[in-house]
Structure 1
């Protein structure tokens, strides 16, 4: 059983909701990202999602775009992030997921990218610009390496397409809460609730809601609809504006809100 599956099994057994925390890898530098991973894990994060900074992102809003630009300016590269994953694994067994774009994978080579990250200790990959019709490009190598290729669904995903996606889901299903890019905003979860109901009827793989969650109360509200919440822009905004202590406080507040029950 993968680390992701084990974590969600543990959460289900204890009746808790999952907290997936996103960090832009390489902000403010690799050492700073490593410190933030440890802080978030200690504060109660269940899964860490590391974003590989990319110069032309499709799904990232202004906060993560800014963090990615700063990370690239600091000299962050995919090989350095690979080493970061290895370093994390020396002291932690928290499930690790990479969020990246397909060009970053193709630049390295699909088989080499997947194999090297699997060997380093990665558990999952999210590729928002890889359509289902082309996912076999990556899926075969992920399966061989024991990495979960995580699929995304959105309010605009049709029932027919949901059925097709649910045949390939692994790890958890990334439920995009609303149309648009990442970023903190008021979210009407009714937009995604019908999609979530359909996915639940098709698969037992856990569901995680992301995009827009900007507060502990927002996380608690989102958790009513899914098994876990994904918080990214709100963490990175605090990290860039106030430093690492602020994400410790923020993550702790999210963990507490989720554990209060929904």
Structure 2
């Protein structure tokens, strides 16, 4: 069991489940992205997901795309990610996962990236565009370092793919609630409940639902059947208005993890 899985399991024992919060590194600048990550952890986020800005973010919605573009325009470098993790983990005891498109890891070198992530205090990677079948180098590096590897499951995934995702993921399986790009939606797709049920049948340890969750009510709804709820765009939008605002929104979202019975 890893630090991420331990935290999620503990939150399911203590509360309705875990709240996972996404923020991009370097937005609006490096210092404030660190301050924001610390603030959401202190406001009730159980696991931090740090996104590395990328020039072709095909899975990201307009809010996150705009934020990451601002970070890139301001001179973000991949090495800033590891500095941010060191500074965050020095201040709060919350697992930090990195969300990244796989090309960035390949360009830096898989083993080098894994070693830097481990040294900085990071817990592992979420790789939205990497499937386990093509992840041999990362599987080897994560075995060597003990880092988590979070793969995605979608409503369109076959049973064979779900079996592979469950067996190769460590920490949790990122359960995509809708097909398409990220972004807050007025309703969380009901397909997520069916997909989590399918993952349970394949023996998943932790299934956390993301894409489209933006309110405490939606967090509570997702935690009726999933182990964690992942919020991104709502937090990024709040950070546009300042660190205090993102802390306030995180605290509001965290009320959705309270047990109702």
Q: TM-score range by the shorter chain?
A: over 0.9
Mapping of residues 88-127 of structure 1, within 5 Å: 88-127=88-127
Distance 2:40 2:188 in 1: 27
Q: Paired residue for 1:84?
A: 84
1:246 aligns with 2:245: yes
1:256 aligns with 2:242: no
Q: Paired residue for 1:205?
A: 205
Query: Which consecutive residues of structure 2, in runs of 5 or more, have no partner in the other structure?
Result: none
The answer to whether the 8 A contact 1:152-1:175 is kept is yes
Identify if the C-alpha distance between structure 1 residues 188 and 87 changes in structure 2 by more than 3 Å, giving closer, same or farther: closer
Distance 2:161 2:187 in 1: 23
1:234 aligns with 2:234: yes
Distance 2:171 2:123 in 1: 9
Greater RCO between the two (CA within 8 Å, min separation 6)? 2
Q: Paired residue for 2:134?
A: 134
Distance 2:202 2:184 in 1: 30
Q: Tell me the CA shift for residue 13 of structure 1.
A: 2.6
Distance 1:68 1:195 in 2: 29
1:33 aligns with 2:8: no
Q: Residue by residue, what CA displacement relative to the aligned partner does 1:47-80 show, whole Å, maximum 9, x if unpaired?
A: 0000000000121111100000001112111111
Q: Tell me the CA shift for residue 133 of structure 1.
A: 1.5
Q: How many residues align?
A: 261
Please, what TM-score do these two structures have when normalized by structure 1?
A: 0.95
Q: Tell me the CA shift for residue 220 of structure 1.
A: 1.5
Please, what TM-score do these two structures have when normalized by structure 2?
A: 0.95
Q: Paired residue for 1:186?
A: 186
Q: Residue by residue, what CA displacement relative to the aligned partner does 1:117-172 show, whole Å, maximum 9, x if unpaired?
A: 11111102011111221011211101111111101101111122112222212101
Distance 1:261 1:254 in 2: 15
The answer to whether the 8 A contact 2:24-2:67 is kept is yes
The answer to whether the 8 A contact 1:177-1:187 is kept is no
Specify the SS of the correspondent of 1:33: helix
Distance 2:247 2:118 in 1: 28
The answer to whether the 8 A contact 1:178-1:187 is kept is no
Specify the SS of the correspondent of 2:168: coil
Query: Which consecutive residues of structure 1, in runs of 5 or more, have no partner in the other structure?
Result: none
Q: Paired residue for 1:221?
A: 221
The answer to whether the 8 A contact 1:169-1:205 is kept is no
Distance 2:127 2:8 in 1: 21
